[in-house]
Structure 1
Amino acid sequence: MSPLRERRGVALMLVLWLIVVLGAIAVGVGALAREESNVVGNVRTRAAARYAAESGVLATRVRLQRALRAAQTPQGSVLVLRRFAEPPASGREEVLGATRFQAVVVNLNARLDLNGADGPMLVAFLGQFVGARRAGALADALQDWRDEDDLVRPNGAEAAEYARAGSPFRPTNRPLAGLNELTRILGFSDSLATRLAPYVTVQSDGRVDVNAAPESVLAAVAGVGPAGARLLVSERAQGAIFDSPVMVWSVLRHVGNAWGAADIAHLTTLPRRILVVSRGWETGHPLTHEIQAVFDVDGPVLTLRFWTERDL
């Protein structure tokens, strides 16, 4: 082969290798561009989902405040709050441009507050789900978890008891920050926590709404008890709306319940704290953003107290 042909062959090989290298670079650049485009798209979608979720919270707040201002009586306010906490007003999907949101209102006073309930109230409540002895142990363990000291209640648990049980957790010595903490407390299994979840909260003011609380929650209130709870729920089923503690007492005295000032302090006839859970998403995209906002209710005014959010 002549030197000229050899040089042409080498040049051809170099050209072919150059084409291969440039092709690989082009593929890499294309992949990087697509990746950056996906990142930008996800950021935009996440921002749109958050905007929709926040709009759901704000819309619910404005509508509820407007309805409460229009209510003329305490009974009217009860009906307004009840309507907002039930379908179709609660959980309705709404369209906002290219996004959608769905907001749910939860009456936190219809639940038992695990941070505010005292020992007897916890025992009375938990005893409806487990045996009396276990209810006492669970109540003591819960109180040891949330109190500020390291003193162990008779059937409770502090750090040493958790260590002996092989638990990776230790009492926080502060109120529960969320219901997800419940299964970290000795004795509270996943299955029990799931059964309790619809009836408990850690974000109310500790009072129980007689116009909304289920029988199991009402029965835990001192001065109400199981018989009183059944009677109150029965009266509600027949259309009764309690507008004052006096009206509640007039019903409970028929079952021989002795009521005092301390018992009245555990009850309310109107929600004092509500939770708005709003989820937003871009139409056609699975990414969803959730906001949970807790409001104090004072007449027609809703004041923000807690705000948390997350991507789902």
Structure 2
Amino acid sequence: MKTHLSGASRRIPRARRGVALLTALMTIAVLVSLTAVVGRAARNSANLTANTRATLVARAMAESAVLAARVAIETRLGAPLPGAPQPGAAPADTSALDTVYDALFDPALRTPFVTDSVGDGAFAATLVNVSARLDVNNAGVEGLTTLFRTVAPRDEAARIAARLDAYVRGTDTPAAARDSLVRRDSLFAALLGQSATPRAMRPFDSLDEVEALVGADAPWIGAVAEALTVDGDGRIDRRRASPAVRAAASGSLVDRPTRVLIVARGWQRGSAVTQEIQAVYAIQDRELRLVRWREQSR
């Protein structure tokens, strides 16, 4: 016996077709979302890799700038000079050595001391004669006031100078903590057979710290920034320091620089990442000895 199915019974119910369509749309939406997430993750990973590489290249270039500047300085200081009895010996004509220093720290030179590139990396370095600046950490109230008075009223200059000196000497810290450090210094000095000297309790590590402490109350501090340092050794280069620095100097005056600051910057071409290294060297005869090393990304 034949069974005849009606047309209505052969058709798929509308409810089932609606569910299938909804399922398909949801599947497509999920796939699109997953594709977007995967694509975004891939782009982020690529950007992270590129930034990491740019940072590594920038730092390598900055270190190369420090090394290149140091080699260039030592080469110039170690080159045979007129009047020297033999190559590498101390020059008899001191004016020839002064000429070398004058060329190294010529204030009219605003171009980098050294600059070069390696692959897609590049670097540049400039020099700062630290000995021609007033050291915030050992200038004292009187020295800082004398310098600040060149750009600020006397009372305001004295107030800011006292604030900086109090920070450095630790007189704004609890007496117990300060006295313990003084006693320790006195003990060490006694064991070494020396007299205890005043110490900088909290020396500034950078001029950025100086500005952060007093910048809001002394907007003029930037006007004397090029006359200040935190890397000095208490000696002032009288031949190259400005009259304002010489007038404010409380340390000994010398005829040649005793410290140099190399400000080195490195970067990768096409990237905004820049690495800066500030390396402070003590000048000993014709060689440089590392004293301080600071790094920051810009």
TM-score bracket for this pair, using the shorter chain length? 0.7 to 0.9
Aligned CA distance change for structure 1 residues 149 and 70 (closer, same or farther; 3 Å): same
Which stretches in structure 1 are left out of the alignment for 5+ residues?
152-171, 223-264
What whole-Å deviation, never above 9, does each CA across 1:228-256 have from its counterpart, x for those lacking one?
Answer: xxxxxxxxxxxxxxxxxxxxxxxxxxxxx
Give the C-alpha shift of residue 43 in structure 1.
0.3
Partner of 1:296 in structure 2?
A: 282
Query: Equivalents in 1 of 2:230, 2:119: separation in Å?
Result: 35
Aligned identity (percent) is 33
Aligned CA distance change for structure 1 residues 77 and 49 (closer, same or farther; 3 Å): same
1:68 matches 2:68: no
Given candidates 54, 66, 76, the residue that maps to 1:57 is 66
Given candidates 191, 201, 216, the residue that maps to 2:229 is 201
TM-score norm. by structure 1 comes to 0.71
SS across alignment from 2:60: helix
Aligned CA distance change for structure 1 residues 3 and 49 (closer, same or farther; 3 Å): farther
Structure 2 counterparts to residues 222-261 of structure 1, below 5 A: none
1:110 matches 2:117: no
Aligned CA distance change for structure 1 residues 9 and 140 (closer, same or farther; 3 Å): closer
Which stretches in structure 2 are left out of the alignment for 5+ residues?
1-7, 82-90, 174-199
What whole-Å deviation, never above 9, does each CA across 1:104-155 have from its counterpart, x for those lacking one?
Answer: 110000101111224443333233333444444333333222114459xxxx
1:28 matches 2:48: no
1:216 matches 2:244: yes
Query: Equivalents in 2 of 1:192, 1:71: separation in Å?
Result: 45
CA contact (8 A) 2:65 2:115 kept: no
Give the C-alpha shift of residue 38 in structure 1.
0.5
Partner of 2:143 in structure 1?
A: 121
Query: Equivalents in 1 of 2:226, 2:208: separation in Å?
Result: 13
Structure 2 counterpart of 1:5, one-letter code: I
SS across alignment from 1:291: strand
Give the C-alpha shift of residue 282 in structure 1.
0.6
What whole-Å deviation, never above 9, does each CA across 1:15-61 have from its counterpart, x for those lacking one?
Answer: 33222211210111011111011101100111001111110001100
Query: Equivalents in 1 of 2:264, 2:145: separation in Å?
Result: 33
Give the C-alpha shift of residue 92 in structure 1.
5.1
Query: Equivalents in 2 of 1:221, 1:11: separation in Å?
Result: 88
SS across alignment from 2:100: helix
Query: Equivalents in 1 of 2:213, 2:75: separation in Å?
Result: 42
Partner of 1:5 in structure 2?
A: 12
Query: Equivalents in 1 of 2:140, 2:19: separation in Å?
Result: 89
RMSD: 2.7
SS across alignment from 1:138: helix
Structure 2 counterpart of 1:76, one-letter code: A
Aligned CA distance change for structure 1 residues 221 and 289 (closer, same or farther; 3 Å): closer
Between Structure 1 and Structure 2, how many residues are aligned?
251
1:18 matches 2:10: no
Partner of 2:270 in structure 1?
A: 284
Structure 1 counterpart of 2:278, one-letter code: Q
Partner of 1:305 in structure 2?
A: 291
What whole-Å deviation, never above 9, does each CA across 1:169-214 have from its counterpart, x for those lacking one?
Answer: xxx9522222233345569734221112010111111211022111
Structure 1 counterpart of 2:105, one-letter code: A
Aligned CA distance change for structure 1 residues 5 and 62 (closer, same or farther; 3 Å): same
Structure 2 counterpart of 1:31, one-letter code: R
Query: Equivalents in 2 of 1:113, 1:301: separation in Å?
Result: 23
Structure 2 counterpart of 1:206, one-letter code: G
Given candidates 256, 259, 266, the residue that maps to 1:273 is 259
Partner of 2:204 in structure 1?
A: 176
